[in-house]
Structure 1
Amino acid sequence: MTGNASASAESVTEIRTDYLGHGAYRFAVLTLEGAGHRPVMMGPASLANFAAAVRALDLSGVDAVAVTGKGPVFCAGADLKRMTEAATPQQTEDVARQGVEAFGLLEALPVPTFAFINGVALGGGLELALHAGYRVAADSVRALGFPEVRLGLIPGWGGIPRTVALVGPALTARLMISDSLAGRNLSARAAAELGLVDAVLPEDGFLTASLDFAASILSGTAPAPVPAAVPSPRPSRAAGGPKSGVPSAVGNASLEDIRTQLDSRLHGAAPAPYRALELIAGAATTPAGQAGQTAEIQAFGELLLSDEARASIYAFHVTQSLAKKPAGRPAVDPLPVRTIGVVGAGLMASQLALVFAQQLRVPVRITDLSQDRVDAALSWTAGQLDRLVGRGHLDAASAAAIGALVTGGTDKSAFADCDVVIEAVFEELDVKRDVFAELEPLLRPDAILLTNTSSLSIEAMGADLARPGRLIGFHFFNPVAVLPLVEIITTPQTDQATLATAFELARRLRKTAVLATDTAGFVVNRVLTRLFSEVLSLLDDGADPDRVDHALDPLGLPMTPLQLLQFIGPAVQLHICEKMHQTYPQRFSVSTSLKRLVAAGLPGYLDDGGHISPAAASLLAALKATDAGIVRARILAALAEEVTAMLEEGVVAGPEQIDLCMILGANYPFHTGGLTPLLDRETGTAFHPELRIPLPASR
């Protein structure tokens, strides 16, 4: 089970203490080491070890104390599985209290303290570093940040007041809320620019360079920053002095702006960002002390027991564990992929060609019926590479090398030596059959055929092939460069080498693969089309379109249904709806208003302001009274029915795969757990009974 409810032995972090002489100074260096070569994480036993190591320090003759890690990780944060074993308010608050007290011992030492951040420092790991008086980081570090809010929590080990003291409330809110929800972290250099670390040092010889820096602080030859523990909502930097922080010029107005953004995006659905915002505002106006510490501990404890935190932590484990070990990958060697062909030169095909060339650095050949279309695709690819150079994501030499890998023409015989050929032509079964019928005689017998179909039967597509076992579904999501999901779809004929190669190709493309059986709509499109089916049926029956479109707002989903339909395109979605209706006529309908919308050539139901356009309104039935709560219940009940059917049909290995698809392919947020934990909460299903923890009656 990929969830987080089963008891698990903590991977206990050990702390090695070394006493080092460096120049004229003597240092006590605490090195965090994960058991069994695992990344350093902090659970109850690890925090107890850290506290014991600090208490056991022999400070006689010691000039300073430093904390560092081993290998590529300083400290990856809290042990989430251990944390979620807490089941009462007292237990969850103890999780926060133990971290605050353990790290507070470092801060209270009577000698200067340093954090030598050698690698990843996330969540509680970064909070640990903030308890030191000075912080340096290796220039190779790319992951410094606060992921807690995305996990339904807050930084609960003292990170909020210390970050506010360093960079001010507005920037703290950006780091802990906006960046957290977006999954963004800081590099060492970015953290130094913001004032979270005092210096960036070379990775090679990092410990020696860090000791040199510490010695310069002790000797007074380097300017000392304002200690992190000193509350300073608006830190300043003296002329010529050290970087002590980034002044907060906008104060509480920026916090209000962030609250407005949260309301617009989440509609109050996730409590963690709002609690974080309150604590940041409090830290900006109230001197650090016991009251603030108590509020932080209480908030952390309450959030850790919330449905949203349990779902978020579950979502985190799903996206991490299933991405690394996808279900269904066969234990056979994949075939080599050295050259790739792309059939089609439209936008999706162009995106595929670019991502193959950029990630695999192999030749990619595009074909289409028209050389003009091919030239347009090559021009688009070149333009995208230029944009990446302009944004600093690629250097000019790399962009030129990638661009040279993508070539094109109208002759499919150019695919003769390709290891893999993917089609991205019009979503019509006969069209795709014709493409593969033309391709197969031109290719090597061991070449693999991929289809990027979003809903059509793979088996039907390959029914007339001489080697149907070499055809497999490989469904990307738009935009290809951004969304990390690939649905791999097999048929009874798919051979194991083809399947292994598809999984390996997804890995090399830095995509997460989910294996699905060959059923209409696969996973994401099947779920979303069931949602559209219910929404559009309501519109066709005269329900108020604005109320229907916003009925799911209290769930905090990334788009309203009609916004998403507008993004997909009415014609495309109508085509998918028709295919799903053919397969499952009892549950999927074809909307009359959607047909009219497509016939009228409208881009969707909404105007530029997000409301029903007059043109779309004219296509709808007379309005009836509409209750948003009833609408929401109907839609969610339909989704629960569809997910149940998918699991009964064996479309995927389990509900975790459906959630992974909805998170990575449809941008469903962590606080919903993807989809199935949300359905458990809202409809009473039991896809994940272990995520629901009964609270004491007194709570």
Structure 2
Amino acid sequence: MSEKPATLETVRERRTTSVESVTEVTTEYVAYAGHRFAILVLRNADGRPVTLGPASLDNFEAAVRALDVSGVDAVAVTGTGPVFCAGADLKKMTEAVTPEQAADVARRGLEAFGLLEALPLPTFAFINGVALGGGLELALHARYRTVSDSVRALGFPEVRLGLIPGWGGIPRAAALLGPAETARLVVSDSLGGRNLSGRAAAELGLVDAVVPEDGFLAASLDFASGVLSGTPVPVPAAVPAAAARDGGARPEPAPTVGPAAVEDLRAQLDSRLHGAAPAPYRALELIVEAATATAGAAGQEAEIQAFGELLLSDEARASIYAFHVTQSLAKKPAGRPAVEPLLVRAVGVVGAGLMASQLALVFARQLRVPVRITDLSQDRINAALEWIGTQLDKLAVRGQLDPAEAEAIRALVTGCIDKKAFADCDVVIEAVFEELEVKRAVFAELEPLLRADALLLTNTSSLSIEEMGAGLERPGRLIGFHFFNPVAVLPLVEIITTPQTDQTTLATAFELAKRLRKTAVLVTDTAGFVVNRVLTRLFNEVLSLLDDGADPATVDHALDPLGLPMTPLQLLQFIGPAVQLHICEKMHQSYPERFGVSASLAKLVAAGLPGYLDDDGGLSPEAASLLPAPKAADAGAVRSRILAALAEEVTAMLEEGVVAGPEQIDLCMILGANYPFHTGGLTPLLDREAGTAFHPELRVSGLPSPRDLARHLQGEK
């Protein structure tokens, strides 16, 4: 499935096709409180959020060079609307195909921002909105920073994208925060997809003042005027008071505290990633260097080199691809029909178990409409309502919900054993036992009780939607709506259609997912859909090896070098053996040539064991007794077998038209199975590890893979 690498000439041709979203930089001269300010205003020419590519950096540099510093007392940088600067232009960045071009991406930003830092007068960043990556680095090149109290996204997402902050963010954050906090911000928060609010950034010492959103510019100028007048102002602890008053030298590096915390983080990375993603390790190296050495030009060159090498890595290209997939397909899901969805004003949930309780809570919290639960037992319903109340209390204690909001949501959820309570519901979702006849019986009972236009949703993980609705008078209003556990955390919903599904039902399902703040992927009605089909094929290979006597530890840890979130047996323990056995049996019925039913898994379920592993992650004695005597296995061969099986299954899914393309499979694996960005979801990982070509030449920008290009250039030499 591989293709010949592109030539350098075709690379150059492709580089001319990308159009940069160019940021304009205008200068406004303002007199305020007896001081004169030059304010550089960033705005995107086409109305999109401000990003920085080559042309945008040229504009910024030209604006700084054109300043008449003799006529002002200070210079400030700010943005417009809800965004200060969203960071680098990733599309332009990934056009780099040689080490020199990749390093130049970092060098160019440092040069442009360095002009601001080198100005011979106080500089300010007025952070009006989102400041991520290069946007936050731009702000850190200013001497002082204010931030609007409405800002919810400041941070460094680069490590999650397979990169490092390459425009000076690490040394400047380390000078303000010290190595331990910088490591949390640059590495831990990035990998976790977390950002800081403006207030959290101020508490940390990353910004100097939080000002109201209403009157933001005036409040920021008040702060700046106070600095210029020598009025005491809040500054980070690492900044000497004299420097704070006179806008003089850059702050001295913070004390080199926290090396143990950095090493602890490195150990956590090893246990989680096993070296699969190089970016967090390179970031930690630079953080330690910034905190323990005089960086200067040598430190800057190390930063440039690290950024350039990472930009050309397979992991970065896969990560940036994953970012684009999760952003673009979430906003514009494939398959959403252009018809008006129904209005959802009340929701019913059939069942009162843990999954049903989670569904009721997410519907009530996100839709703020009445949610009614039914079950065969009022005691089970009461337990579900109690669980929901406890979760709301926890959210209120954590500050994620106002206590009054929590009480209002609690009041929306009610329950009784009579399904007639669903009579005025616009949507009813079932979350009962995963058995086709049970679900059929539920829908047969529901249909005459509901309005003709009410939607019927099933949260089935593997059963046929068409078979489930075969006895309905109006099967067109039944649709699969498969959530993932835990419902509040995982953002994926698989929407499963049948030939009978009508367009209004489909449009309403997409709109409902959007209102629930979930990402919807349209899937055809095939066994296992996407996530469970892929994971069950993985389990099939793992359990087959165990049943044949392969060493369990070797098999379970063979995929560790890929940096997946769990080992297969840990994941099976999380899902539950009984649930997975049921899915395996269903997949075997549908695809007997590729899916089997593990003898040891069946014995495990019959014995009532929670899984194969003990509390320490090793094979439990009880599970060991169900397996043959172990024999040596080669981890590399095991890994190759599993990846080849996954490649075969993904190819079959695409040939069957289960989803629109490999991007949808990757989106499902990222959002439903928590696969990290460096895998690209799955298909980019298979491209580089199993020799497939789901994304010919390169998975992001159509350029050849870095490895293929390196071989090509070496051949030219």
Q: TM-score range by the shorter chain?
A: over 0.9
Contact 2:174 2:254 in 1 (8 A): no
Separation in structure 2 between the aligned mates of residue 492 and residue 374 of structure 1, nearest angstrom: 35
Counterpart AA for 1:166: L
Task: Tell me the CA shift for residue 35 of structure 1.
Answer: 1.7
Counterpart AA for 1:362: V
Change (3 A) 1:486 1:245: farther
What does 1:335-374 correspond to in 2, within 5 Å? 335-374=342-381
Q: Which runs of 5+ in 1 are unaligned?
A: 227-233
Cα deviation, 1:99-128, whole Å, max 9, x if unaligned, reads: 000000000000110000000000000000
Contact 1:196 1:245 in 2 (8 A): no
Separation in structure 1 between the aligned mates of residue 335 and residue 44 of structure 2, nearest angstrom: 30
Contact 1:195 1:245 in 2 (8 A): no
Separation in structure 1 between the aligned mates of residue 92 and residue 547 of structure 2, nearest angstrom: 49
Separation in structure 2 between the aligned mates of residue 551 and residue 77 of structure 1, nearest angstrom: 37
Larger CA deviation: 370-379 vs 298-307: 370-379
What does 1:40-55 correspond to in 2, within 5 Å? 40-55=50-65
Counterpart AA for 2:710: P
Separation in structure 1 between the aligned mates of residue 386 and residue 347 of structure 2, nearest angstrom: 19
Contact 2:175 2:254 in 1 (8 A): no
Cα deviation, 1:317-341, whole Å, max 9, x if unaligned, reads: 0000000000000000000100110
Separation in structure 2 between the aligned mates of residue 610 and residue 113 of structure 1, nearest angstrom: 54
Larger CA deviation: 122-131 vs 287-296: 287-296
Separation in structure 1 between the aligned mates of residue 181 and residue 470 of structure 2, nearest angstrom: 58
Counterpart AA for 1:108: A
Change (3 A) 1:20 1:563: same
Map of 1:180 onto structure 2? 190
Task: Tell me the CA shift for residue 285 of structure 1.
Answer: 1.2
Map of 1:663 onto structure 2? 670
Count of residues in Structure 1 that have an aligned counterpart in Structure 2? 688
Other structure's SS at 1:667 match: coil
Separation in structure 2 between the aligned mates of residue 635 and residue 235 of structure 1, nearest angstrom: 51
Equivalent position to 1:545, from 533, 552, 557: 552
Matched, 1:99 2:109: yes
Equivalent position to 1:35, from 45, 56, 65: 45
Separation in structure 1 between the aligned mates of residue 561 and residue 44 of structure 2, nearest angstrom: 41
Equivalent position to 1:209, from 185, 203, 219: 219
Give every structure 1 segment of 4 or more consecutive aligned residues whose post-TM-superposition deviation is greater than 6 Å: 236-239, 244-247
Equivalent position to 1:392, from 396, 399, 412: 399
Other structure's SS at 2:42 match: strand
Change (3 A) 1:665 1:164: same
Map of 1:589 onto structure 2? 596
Map of 2:8 onto structure 1? none
Counterpart AA for 1:620: L
Separation in structure 2 between the aligned mates of residue 685 and residue 162 of structure 1, nearest angstrom: 42
Cα deviation, 1:539-596, whole Å, max 9, x if unaligned, reads: 0000000000000000000000000000000000000000000000000010000001
What does 1:495-510 correspond to in 2, within 5 Å? 495-510=502-517
Task: Tell me the CA shift for residue 252 of structure 1.
Answer: 1.5
Contact 2:179 2:256 in 1 (8 A): no
Task: Tell me the CA shift for residue 287 of structure 1.
Answer: 1.3
Contact 1:148 1:180 in 2 (8 A): yes
Contact 2:342 2:508 in 1 (8 A): yes
Map of 1:163 onto structure 2? 173
Task: Tell me the CA shift for residue 412 of structure 1.
Answer: 0.6
Contact 1:167 1:245 in 2 (8 A): no
Separation in structure 1 between the aligned mates of residue 171 and residue 81 of structure 2, nearest angstrom: 29
Other structure's SS at 1:37 match: coil
What does 1:205-284 correspond to in 2, within 5 Å? 205-223=215-233, 225=235, 235=238, 250-284=257-291
Task: Tell me the CA shift for residue 250 of structure 1.
Answer: 4.0
Map of 1:329 onto structure 2? 336
Change (3 A) 1:224 1:488: closer
Task: Tell me the CA shift for residue 224 of structure 1.
Answer: 7.2
What does 1:307-322 correspond to in 2, within 5 Å? 307-322=314-329
Other structure's SS at 1:366 match: strand
Q: Which runs of 5+ in 2 are unaligned?
A: 1-10, 246-250, 700-704
Map of 1:230 onto structure 2? none
Map of 2:709 onto structure 1? 695
Cα deviation, 1:202-232, whole Å, max 9, x if unaligned, reads: 0111111111111110010134747xxxxxx
Separation in structure 2 between the aligned mates of residue 261 and residue 488 of structure 1, nearest angstrom: 36
Contact 1:68 1:74 in 2 (8 A): yes
Task: Tell me the CA shift for residue 624 of structure 1.
Answer: 1.7
Counterpart AA for 1:517: T
Change (3 A) 1:600 1:201: same
Task: Tell me the CA shift for residue 527 of structure 1.
Answer: 0.3
Change (3 A) 1:419 1:261: same
Map of 1:437 onto structure 2? 444
Matched, 1:11 2:21: yes
Matched, 1:131 2:145: no
Map of 1:606 onto structure 2? 613
Contact 2:254 2:291 in 1 (8 A): no
Other structure's SS at 2:71 match: coil
TM-score, normalised on structure 1? 0.96
Task: Tell me the CA shift for residue 695 of structure 1.
Answer: 2.8
Contact 2:253 2:291 in 1 (8 A): no
Change (3 A) 1:100 1:686: same
